[in-house]
Amino acid sequence: MALPVRDQIKYWGIATVAVLGVLWVLGDVILPFVLGAAVAYFLDPVADRLERLGMSRIFAVATITAVAVLVLVIMALLIIPSIVAQAIALFDTAPQLARDLQGFLGKHLPSLYEPDSTLQQALQSLGETVRERGGQLLQTALSSAASLVNVVVLLVVAPVVAVYLLYDWDHMVERIDHLLPRDHAPIIRRLAGEIDATLASFVRGMGTVSVILGTYYAVALMLVGLQFGLVVGAAAGLVTFIPYVGAIFGGTLALGLALFQFWGDWLSIGLVAAIFVSGQVIEGNLLTPRLVGSSVGLHPVWLIFALSAFGTLFGFVGMLVAVPVAAALGVIARFAVAEYQKGRLYRGLDGRGEDRGDG
């Protein structure tokens, strides 16, 4: 006999509070384990496909690990130092960019620009602040990450956790399935499948889209000759998972830099604009439909809210779990609405579920 609904709500509520409490108390301590689990989830379909090709699970995991290590080594030696160096250089050149902007405004909008005006002082102050604080902020963020989460632990424990979880992923899912409440197991399996489909479409799909677009933006901007093109392209690709934000952010930053660097060379400026326009066309018509699909079920506003709320409450770990939680809540909300529309509260005593136009 199933537990009464009130008791079920109580137990599920206690479990939810316990999970949130663990996130709140442990915080960055569990970051390597959350990262490892995320990596294992992301790579599990690859391991499954290698198994279907005839590999054993352990050999499939070993192959994936070797490829991942090779990619990380290449990134650590070639890409990441260049991105960091360009980001710091971008902050350092902020005062010159501010002076160029003052000159542009003085030449083309003289009515808005006068010596010792509020606009001039604001631009000068902004440039100096970015120069002084920007690089410091970047390095402080890196050093803070190093102090809060031991870099050695993060770089060693997270991959080890990912390898173990990837090797044992299917067995873990099977064990969890055996622990499900028998009365609710079919519904939980169905909801878990929908959540997995949403996450697979969004996380794996948008992750791939972000990598492809980030690489395209960075390489194309560097070929055009834009200063800081690598860091601008990488940043635009990084935030591509929020629809339109990556293109708007990257395009605005790249065009602003292009106007200062290529002023008068309208071909180069047009090429920078064309890079982001073509990126949006490729993303909207080719990458997103093929890799993500049309029914992800994560509204951009809901996603931004989840990232903001969980990031504020639980820090970086909260931002990592925000997307799975947002996907789960979205699936549960749709399930609750469907159940409500089947019930008497919605359909009425006659069960027709129609607006009878009372009065």
Q: From the CB of residue 26, how many other CB atoms can be counted at a distance below 10 Å?
A: 14
First to last CA, the chain: 44
Residue 316 in domain = no
Instruction: Identify whether the C-beta of residue 317 lies closer than 8 Å to the C-beta of residue 36.
Output: no
Half-sphere exposure of 27 (CA within 13 A, CB side): 11
Share of the chain above pLDDT 70, in %: 69
**303: helix, coil or strand?**
helix
* pLDDT score of 144: 47
Residue 221 in domain = no
296 secondary structure, DSSP code: -
Q: From the CB of residue 12, how many other CB atoms can be counted at a distance below 10 Å?
A: 12
Instruction: Identify whether the C-beta of residue 161 lies closer than 8 Å to the C-beta of residue 36.
Output: yes
Residue 119 in domain = yes
Residue 213 in domain = no
**How far apart, in whole angstroms, are the C-alpha atoms of residue 278 and residue 221?**
13
Count how many domains the chain has.
Answer: 1
Residue 260 in domain = no
- Which H or E element spans position 264? none
**How far apart, in whole angstroms, are the C-alpha atoms of residue 198 and residue 104?**
47
Nearest to 169 by CA among 313, 84, 61, 257: 61
Cα angle 40-45-46, degrees, rounded to a multiple of 5: 90
* pLDDT of 53 strictly over 50: yes
**How far apart, in whole angstroms, are the C-alpha atoms of residue 315 and residue 312?**
6
Residue 102 in domain = yes
Each residue's pLDDT tens digit, 141-150: 445 444 444 5
* pLDDT score of 28: 66
Residue 59 in domain = yes
What pTM was computed for the model? 0.61
**How far apart, in whole angstroms, are the C-alpha atoms of residue 228 and residue 82?**
10
Q: Which of 77-81, 114-118, 315-319, 338-342 has the lowest mean pLDDT?
A: 114-118
135 phi and psi, to 5 degrees? -60, -40
Each residue's pLDDT tens digit, 86-98: 666 666 666 666 6
Alpha helices for the chain (secondary structure H): 5-26, 31-52, 57-74, 80-92, 94-108, 118-148, 151-178, 185-199, 205-224, 229-238, 245-261, 266-282, 288-291, 300-342, 344-347
Residue 122 in domain = yes
pLDDT category of residue 17 using cuts at 50, 70 and 90:
confident
CA distances from 96 to 39, 116, 118, 133 (A): 41, 18, 19, 15
Mean pLDDT for the stretch of residues 177-189: 84
Instruction: Identify whether the C-beta of residue 242 lies closer than 8 Å to the C-beta of residue 304.
Output: yes
* pLDDT score of 36: 85
DSSP 308-341: HHHHHHHHHHHHHHHHHHHHHHHHHHHHHHHHHH
Mean pLDDT for the stretch of residues 267-287: 84
Range of the domain at 138: 27-179
Average pLDDT, the chain: 75
**Hunting for tokens 């663990």 — which residue is that?**
22
